[in-house]
Amino acid sequence: MREPLIFDQGRPGRRAPSQAPGIAGPTDDLPAGLLRRAPPPLPEVSELQVVRHFTRLSQLNFSIDTHFYPLGSCTMKYNPRASNKLAMLPGFLDRHPLEPEGHAQGYLECLFDLQEMLKAVTGMSGVSLTPMAGAQGEFAGVAMIRAYHVARGDAGRTQIIVPDAAHGTNPATATMCGCDVVEIPTGPDGDVDVDALRKVVGPQTAGIMLTNPSTLGAFERRIAEIADVVHGAGGLLYYDGANLNAILGRALPAAMGFDVVHINLHKTFSTPHGGGGPGAGIVAVTERLEPFLPIPIVGRRDGQYRWLAESDRPQSIGRLSGFMGNAGILLRAYVYMRLLGAEGMRRVSGFATLNANYLMKRLAAAGFTPAFPQRRASHEFIITLKDIARDTGVTAMDFAKALLDKGFHAPTTYFPLLVPECLLIEPTESEARQDLDAFAQALIDIRDLALRDAAEVKRAPLTTPVRRLDDVRAAKQLDLTWQSRASDRPNPTASPN
């Protein structure tokens, strides 16, 4: 059943009166010219209407808690409910961020311990928890690389090398840091083309951004050589830790030669994705970048925990958030890491890899084409549907939609860009074999139907709250607010004011 907009459920004057002060205090001292003339157009609804509306809306979503969700590169693993409950204890939740350190020792101890564990899993020597998502971690990393070169009087290093398989945030980050992006190709085996790399490095090289395993789902085997090439040219290596789940407790980015790494805590350390965040993109660095880490950082002296700030870290790239990053997400990751422990972390990568390789094998055996069949899958892998798309017209997007009808969230589609008609599939370690088998069977059934009746597949999805949506219209006839609908102007993109 469709759920009307909350605005359309309101009636003038309706309220949820328990939620606001019974009477409003006087505002007679405020300058009349600054007062609002008309109340803001917020919904006027009852508490029950709100609860019912958002409960119903929630039911329109696929989520980890309701569906297998093998969205590649996103590590949609089980989010333990304990993390949520414990991070929301009043002692953490009701603290003002500027409360004195003496009032917050329990909280600071969690963050300090978290910093230490993050050093252990990266092999790095310094950590800052402040970046609020992977992309902000990337920003911090590249900014530190830039600051390092500048501090050494080597300000001309403004190029960031990025493989063509890289996530979009990598080149976008380089731009935000004022660097130029130099793209290098992937070789046919899925590894970076090291010869191409050699050709582009030089005195202008600030550094390289890599994920390992890459977004192709394969471990970069020549990583040591790459590190030598980049370091040899005076550049630094940035590790995009979005794929850390694949190697957790098996290999350390520091040992691979990386100078800085971010980790998406919302991936490897299972904080919730929340329908689009919040995440946390902590950064860890080797010794030479430590002075540049963003602040604040938690320090310890004489058993007391304290914030390290500007005065402690004068070379810091500065502050990246109004207070202390996504504190509640850090606490959730902390709980998860303590639940896993060292042995549990190794098992995470082991079973994530087992699930991915098993599913890749099953699909290959059923006639699907892995993008890199000769390689081990890391915690994820790609299949390309280009043959079937060519033969039947059924595309990766059609497969994605047909999967929804079978009760599975779709894998990542059309990323990385270099593999045509691709599905990037990441089952994660928390899914059971029976669900992998069911998912494989669903893909097989869709493929078989595509061969028999391509048009039928292209009708999918049929069972979702809406059927296939018109994206083009969404971008052309912009309808971004309820106000724009209410407007009686012919062109819905016009400003409703």
The one-letter amino acid code at 370 reads: P
Binders of other proteins among residues 103 to 142 (CB under 8 A) are 103-107, 109-110, 116-117, 119-121, 132-136, 138-139
Binding map of other proteins across residues 445-484, x = CB under 8 A, - = no contact: ----------------x--xxxxxxxx-xxx-xxxxxxxx
Tokens of 395: 């595309």
Residue 215 interacts with which of a copy of itself, other proteins, ligand PLP, none, CB < 5 to 8 Å by class: ligand PLP
Interface with other proteins includes 35 (CB under 8 A)? Answer: yes
Tally of CB atoms within 10 A around 473: 10
Residue 211 interacts with which of a copy of itself, other proteins, ligand PLP, none, CB < 5 to 8 Å by class: ligand PLP
Tell me the β-bridge partners of 281: 264
CA 134 to chain centre: 6
User: Do residues 60 and 3 lie in contact, with contact meaning Cβ atoms separated by under 8 Å?
Assistant: yes
Tally of CB atoms within 10 A around 433: 13
Tally of CB atoms within 10 A around 229: 21
Interface with a copy of itself includes 87 (CB under 8 A)? Answer: no
Smallest distance from ligand PLP to CB 86, Å: 22
Note if the bond before 80 is cis, omega within 30 degrees: no
Given the complex with a copy of itself, which of 339 and 417 has the nearer CB atom? 339
Given the complex with a copy of itself, which of 336 and 368 has the nearer CB atom? 336
Interface with ligand PLP includes 134 (CB under 6 A)? Answer: yes
Interface with a copy of itself includes 46 (CB under 8 A)? Answer: yes
302-331 in b/e form (b: 16+ CB < 10 A) is eeebbebeeeebeebbeebeeebbbbbbbb
Query: Cα(300)–Cα(312) distance, rounded to whole angstroms?
Result: 13
| Phi (first) and psi of residue 13, to 5 degrees | 95, -10
Residue of 56, 103, 250, 473 interacting with a copy of itself (CB under 8 A): 56
Binding map of other proteins across residues 49-68, x = CB under 8 A, - = no contact: xxx-xxx-xxxxxxxxxxx-
Interface with a copy of itself includes 48 (CB under 8 A)? Answer: yes
Residue of 64, 118, 135, 460 interacting with ligand PLP (CB under 6 A): 135
Residue 240 interacts with which of other proteins, ligand PLP, a copy of itself, none, CB < 5 to 8 Å by class: ligand PLP
Query: Cα(329)–Cα(337) distance, rounded to whole angstroms?
Result: 12
Interface with ligand PLP includes 73 (CB under 6 A)? Answer: yes
Residue 1 interacts with which of a copy of itself, ligand PLP, other proteins, none, CB < 5 to 8 Å by class: a copy of itself
Stretch that binds other proteins, among 99-107, 228-236, 283-291, 443-451 (CB under 8 A): 99-107
Query: Cα(325)–Cα(297) distance, rounded to whole angstroms?
Result: 11
Interface with a copy of itself includes 204 (CB under 8 A)? Answer: no
Interface with other proteins includes 301 (CB under 8 A)? Answer: no
Binders of ligand PLP among residues 93 to 122 (CB under 6 A) are none
Binders of other proteins among residues 186 to 245 (CB under 8 A) are 218-219, 221, 223-224
Tokens of 225: 């050589």
Given the complex with ligand PLP, which of 242 and 248 has the nearer CB atom? 242
- Tell me if residue 257 falls in helix, strand or coil: coil
Given the complex with a copy of itself, which of 37 and 81 has the nearer CB atom? 81
CA 382 to chain centre: 19
Smallest distance from ligand PLP to CB 267, Å: 7
Query: Cα(25)–Cα(47) distance, rounded to whole angstroms?
Result: 23
- Tell me if residue 196 falls in helix, strand or coil: helix
Smallest distance from ligand PLP to CB 215, Å: 5
Smallest distance from other proteins to CB 488, Å: 16
Stretch that binds a copy of itself, among 50-58, 298-306, 362-370, 416-424 (CB under 8 A): 50-58
DSSP of 273-341 = -TTT----EEEEE-GGGGGGPPBPEEEEETTEEEEE-TTT-TT---B-SSSSSSHHHHHHHHHHHHHHH
Tell me the β-bridge partners of 127: 284
Q: Which helix (H) or strand (E) holds 144?
A: helix 134-151
Query: Cα(207)–Cα(161) distance, rounded to whole angstroms?
Result: 6
Smallest distance from a copy of itself to CB 346, Å: 15
In what side-by-side order are the strands of the sheet with 180-184? 126-128, 281-285, 260-264, 236-240, 205-210, 159-163, 180-184
Tokens of 482: 């309820």
Interface with a copy of itself includes 462 (CB under 8 A)? Answer: no
Interface with ligand PLP includes 281 (CB under 6 A)? Answer: yes
Interface with ligand PLP includes 210 (CB under 6 A)? Answer: no
Interface with ligand PLP includes 169 (CB under 6 A)? Answer: yes
Interface with a copy of itself includes 477 (CB under 8 A)? Answer: no
Given the complex with a copy of itself, which of 466 and 472 has the nearer CB atom? 466
Interface with other proteins includes 366 (CB under 8 A)? Answer: no
Chain positions contacting ligand PLP, by CB under 6 A:
73, 133-135, 167, 169, 211, 215, 240, 242, 264, 279, 281
